[in-house]
Structure 1
Amino acid sequence: MASPRKTVRTNRRKRNSSRVPLIGMALVVIAVIAAVFFLDRAYRKQPVVQQTPPPVVERHKLPPREPEQPVAHEDYTGVIHHPAEPQRAQRPTGPGTLAVIIDDMGKGLPEARALMDIGIPLTFAIIPGLPKVRRVAEEARQRGIEVMVHLPMEPKGYPERRLEANGLLLSQGDDEIAGRVNGYLNEIPQAVGANNHMGSGFTENRQKMAVVMGVLKERGLFFVDSKTSPVSVGDAVAREMGVRTAVRNVFLDNIQESGYITNQLRQAASIARKRGNAIAICHPHPATIQTLAVELPRLRDEGITFVTVSRLVR
């Protein structure tokens, strides 16, 4: 049996031998911590070198877009400049006398009143037999608008080309023609003259036109040849028979478009300035009425004198 002293020594050795690994591990940990500490100190003492970031490559920028139509801008004086308006071509001016006849009147009152409201001397050529003949003629007379009978006459190509049922035909006898013309004048007693409605065929016939002129002479009325045929004998027969007469110079609205009508009006004004006077004929189309309302006062301001057509017959 071992002695107690020996047993104590043995146990002490065992305890000491178990402490050795623990101490070693502790020393390792301490050494690692110390190394980290000294490395950190050394790193902090080194100068800090700032790296320049790589240059940023920008995409190509387009210059700001200017407005397509410049608006008013302001300069350093604070004055606002507006873009200059395009200058209109200078219109000719000068004196001349122009008569405007409105054909085909008598269908209604609104267009008649619109034309009268322009405030320019006009002449209404009224077709007999239309619904508002008497009212249009009387209201025109009251407002100082001259009235003529618009004689419906046979056109070339009749009967394929339409004509009013009360019109004058080449196939009719002289008495029937005279009777119809007298009937027209009785229906429109305000009339001071007449012109032909259509009639490209009828106005080429000297005999038939002589019958018409005979009635107009008896009534003391004049005749304006609308010249629907370039070889019309209307004005020639009228002169031969002592009927005051005149000839149309310009048709204004063969095309019912404002620009065209304006150009035709300028042509009529040009003739009036060169020859002293001119006669223009148009119709109560909406485009015509609107254009006349603008252009007739403008022409008046430019020197044109407007008169009724009775002032120009000779």
Structure 2
Amino acid sequence: MAKERKRRSATVKSTTKKAPTKRSKSSRKKGTLKKDFTIFTTVIVMIAMVVLGYYIGRGEAGVQPNPNSILLKSSSDNKALFESLEKVKNERALREQKRQDELELKLQIQREAEQKKAALEAQKEEEKQKLLEKSKSVPYPGDMVHYNEMMASSKSEKPKLVIIIDDVSSRSQLEHIQAVNLKLTPSIFPPYKLSPSNNKLAEGLKHYMIHLPMQSGKAYDKQEKTLMVTDTPEMIESRVKELRRLFPTARFVNNHTGSVFTSNYLAMDRLYQALYQEGFVFIDSRTISATKVPQISRKHSQLYMARDVFIDNKQTVDSIHKQLKLAVNIAKKRGYTIVIGHPHKVTLEALSSATEMLKDVETVYIDELYQLKVKR
């Protein structure tokens, strides 16, 4: 027993001595692992910081540096920077100056355009006033021969009757008109292919008109150089200037046909202005009730005169006399009337035999009536 207890005691002691040796190795192993982990973690963090610093550096490389916050490495870098800044400043100044110059030029052009427009309007107004004064004078036919006749007519108490004979294109027609014992105003066609010398019929005449072909709704009414609503202002002006050359002493113009033209405001206004510039007075034949001439005359502050009665739509003496009686009644009520006929044989015969029915009116030429109306 004693031996057994000694052996156990020895075993226990032996075990007790070896245990501390095993604990020391485990502790050292754990310490080594902890140290290795710390080193590994530190390395990873440093790598991450390097990588992060790399990308941050790349990002900052694309940013425009602030010259005021950069420490330059040399005086040459400072000089280059200041030169660059000065160049940018000069370029901005040049752009601003250019912008100011362009703005000033634009304003100057605008002022000049406004001044030019005002001057043009003033010139037009001056020309309008001159033509108005001219229209109130007695330039037709260029002398004062008929002035006493006009003054005598103005003192008469009888109503006035103007008889216009349209479509005159031959010497024989003119002679037959002049043979009637009445003041008849012939309206002469401008020259055209079938009658190229019409303007010569007006030579020596004191009282006459121009019978100007203008667009109607009928194709067969179209004569050479008929004015169309599609004509440009330049074409219309050229035609009117041609009329002035052909008939230098003419004052009055009326339309041949022209229902389409006179009812077109734009076209008629262009013609009216062109006639006005050349010293012509337009007498409206009123071939259509929709004529725009009354409005255009008011627009230009001019006297509007127009046909009241066609006397020979029906070519019989009785019918013509009936129309003349109608004209006399209008003249008695209004003080004057304007009629239009044509150089037909029956028309001239009817006028020659109408002395009795016209006794209550005084027949006058168109220019005489116009002067009376203007003076009133």
Whether the TM-score (by the shorter chain) exceeds 0.5 is yes
Report whether the alignment pairs 1:116 with 2:174: no
Does the 8 Å contact 1:123/1:148 carry over to 2?
A: yes
Give me the TM-score of the superposition, normalised by structure 2.
Answer: 0.54
Does the 8 Å contact 2:241/2:278 carry over to 1?
A: no
Does the 8 Å contact 1:222/1:245 carry over to 2?
A: no
The correspondence for 2:356, drawn from 277, 280, 298, is 298
Report whether the alignment pairs 1:148 with 2:209: yes
Q: CA deviation at 1:262?
A: 0.8
Match of 1:70 in 2: none
Aligned residues: 212
Residue type of the partner of 1:155? S
Match of 2:285 in 1: 226
Distance 1:225 1:299 in 2: 26
Q: CA deviation at 1:281?
A: 0.4
Residue type of the partner of 1:311? E
Residue type of the partner of 2:289? P
**Corresponding residue SS for 1:312:** helix
**Corresponding residue SS for 2:220:** coil
The correspondence for 2:167, drawn from 73, 81, 104, is 104
The correspondence for 1:209, drawn from 268, 273, 280, is 268
Task: Name whichever structure is richer in helix by fraction.
Answer: 2
Give me the TM-score of the superposition, normalised by structure 1.
Answer: 0.64
Distance 1:116 1:305 in 2: 17
Structure 2 matches for 1:10-21, cutoff 5 A?
A: none
**Corresponding residue SS for 2:226:** coil
Q: CA deviation at 1:266?
A: 0.8
Does the 8 Å contact 2:294/2:304 carry over to 1?
A: yes
Does the 8 Å contact 2:190/2:199 carry over to 1?
A: no
Does the 8 Å contact 1:103/1:283 carry over to 2?
A: yes
Distance 2:367 2:275 in 1: 14
Residue type of the partner of 1:151? L
Distance 1:120 1:184 in 2: 27
Does the 8 Å contact 2:166/2:340 carry over to 1?
A: yes
Residue type of the partner of 1:238? S
Match of 2:150 in 1: none
The correspondence for 2:304, drawn from 245, 249, 261, is 245
Q: Percent identity?
A: 29
Does the 8 Å contact 2:327/2:337 carry over to 1?
A: yes
Match of 1:180 in 2: 239
Does the 8 Å contact 1:247/1:279 carry over to 2?
A: yes
Task: Name whichever structure is richer in strand by fraction.
Answer: 1
**Corresponding residue SS for 2:259:** coil
Q: CA deviation at 1:185?
A: 2.5
Q: Which range moves more in the overlay, 204-213 or 180-189?
A: 180-189
Structure 2 matches for 1:1-314, cutoff 5 A?
A: 95-105=158-168, 107-130=169-192, 131=195, 132-139=197-204, 141=205, 144=206, 146-157=207-218, 160-295=219-354, 297-300=355-358, 302-313=359-370, 314=374
Does the 8 Å contact 1:213/1:243 carry over to 2?
A: no
Residue type of the partner of 1:125? S
Residue type of the partner of 1:268? A
